[in-house]
Amino acid sequence: MEVSRLSSGQAAVKMPASQVIDLDDSDTEPSIPIALDAKRVGISGVNGIDLPDVEESGDEEDEDSANWDEVESLFEDTLEEMDDQHLTTAGGPEHCTLEEANAFRQQLRTIGPEAFCAKTVEAGTITAKKLLTAFGLRPPHFLEGSPDDAYYGLLSLGISRELSKRIKLPQYNTIDDAVELIKKSRNIIVLTGAGISTSLGIPDFRSKDIGLYSKLEHLGLNDPQEVFDINIFKEDPSIFYQVARDILPSTDRFTPTHAFIALLQAKGKLLTNYSQNIDNIESVAGILPEKLIQCHGSFATASCIDCKYQTEGEKLFDDIRAGKIPMCPMCIERLRRLKVPTAMKRKRSYNSQDKKRRKSGYDAMDGDTSSEDEYDDPKSGVMKPDITFFGEPLPDRFSERLTNHDKDLVDLVIVIGTSLKVAPVSEVVPYLPTHIPQMYISRTPVSHVNFDVDMLGDCDVVVAELCKRAGWDLEHEMIPEEQKVDIRLETGFTSRHIFTVKE
């Protein structure tokens, strides 16, 4: 969405397929502008974060767009989203019911954003604050008590996000629909996240209280995702390696969900498995390299951050489990050949780190550096698993496979065990043709994607039941022979199903 000048009425929302629709093409000033700069939100910052200055004059569209993107990012990171599940019983003077929300969304798409705003907020039939909830945004506490026009900027964000969503295909709703789609499809994209490995004891990242990120306060980071920030790794690799011990692949087992993907492959139905996981369990389950895109890399290989020497990831595992930071054997051998004098040898120091972070540096690990630490010279390199950190580009194969191969072949999309929060993998689903059926399998629903069928519950339970109904034999030691599953339709929904194992 572009930033508009309030006085000119040049508000615009980016529609799907990059179409830009003017929300007010008249010469008069609109009474309810749909897009406005961040300062009109009524605050100078969000939760202590200073919002970027947005120029109120000038004609540089690229700069305006960049500024608005930055504002949008801040809002999305700060605001609390409301899933439709919360709307089923909400209602009242400040929250829409699910029925009301669905009606507003349909009205927006039917008459367009300009007429929609005129018939709702501008006409006084509903407040902007309440209308936010129809588009999945909970009115933030920091605006409590503000005039209603303080919510206009957030409403514009909500409307923009709603218009960018794929429209659900109405013909697919039931579990039988999902089963038939799987049986008849021949080119299935399966997009997986950490939720497919949790039954092996491998933690996911974002689950409240039990996810990996919820357990990292002791590291003194501003954001737990900094554990996987490439710049912080280069400053102090010990922060990552303290966490690596907990997520290190330590099993040759795989889950029923991995087995389900392998079964799709065996039946000639798997187009590509896009995995966000770094545990490499897909390979253990037998997914062929040509069918697997490890979007965020994996522990399968590791490379020196200095000389780029690459080796098998397993060669680092002993050091990682022992609390040591793996050093590059090639760099160490080079130092040996140079016969570095003892006086020149020194331990690494990270004086740029603040005191809080230094407590979680090398001295916080059980060990120190690798067994060759007598050659721990400033010029020697640290080994890093070939995981794609924040700040690093995804493998070229990711975009090449998606754009040049899969997009034109896919006939079904199955998303399993991921909240789709990390870009650019989160953009795979909206990038694909909108007429292709999409289904979602995970413990909790997502609100920013309209899937055709949502199947909520333990991933292993859901895929086992789908295979049973398809007449497929999904043999796995973790699936009880007499397992019986109860499936109920969630109240207020036509295509959201809850799977639970009968006691």
Helix (H) or strand (E) holding 45: strand 45-46
- Exposed e or buried b per residue across 169-189, where buried means at least 16 C-beta atoms within 10 angstroms of its C-beta: beebbebebbbebbeebebbb
User: Per the annotation, does 96 bind a ligand?
Assistant: no
* C-beta separation of 309 from 303 below 8 A: yes
User: Per the annotation, does 307 bind a ligand?
Assistant: yes
Calculate the CA dihedral of residues 284, 391, 416, 191 and round it to 10 degrees: -80
Instruction: Report in angstroms the alpha-carbon separations of 153 from 36, 137, 159, 310, 400.
Output: 6, 12, 10, 49, 37
Task: Say which of 86, 95, 218, 296 is annotated catalytic.
Answer: 296
Q: What is the amino acid identity at position 503?
A: E
- The DSSP 8-state label assigned to residue 490 in this structure reads P
Helices (H), 135-221: 152-164, 175-184
Whether 296 is catalytic: yes
Peptide bond just before 139 cis, omega within 30 deg: no
- Secondary structure of residue 327 in the 3-state scheme: strand
Q: What is the amino acid identity at position 34?
A: I
- 188 φ, ψ to 5°? -95, 130
As a whole number of angstroms, the distance between CA 195 and CA 132 comes to: 30
Q: What is the amino acid identity at position 433?
A: P
Torsion sign over Cα 205, 210, 212, 214: positive
User: Per the annotation, does 467 bind a ligand?
Assistant: no
* C-beta separation of 181 from 412 below 8 A: yes
* C-beta separation of 329 from 309 below 8 A: yes
User: Per the annotation, does 459 bind a ligand?
Assistant: no
Residue in 469, 415, 406 with CA at minimum distance from that of residue 442: 415
* Residues contributing to the annotated binding site: 304, 307, 328, 331
Report the catalytic residues.
Answer: 296
* Residues contributing to the annotated binding site for Zn(2+): 304, 307, 328, 331
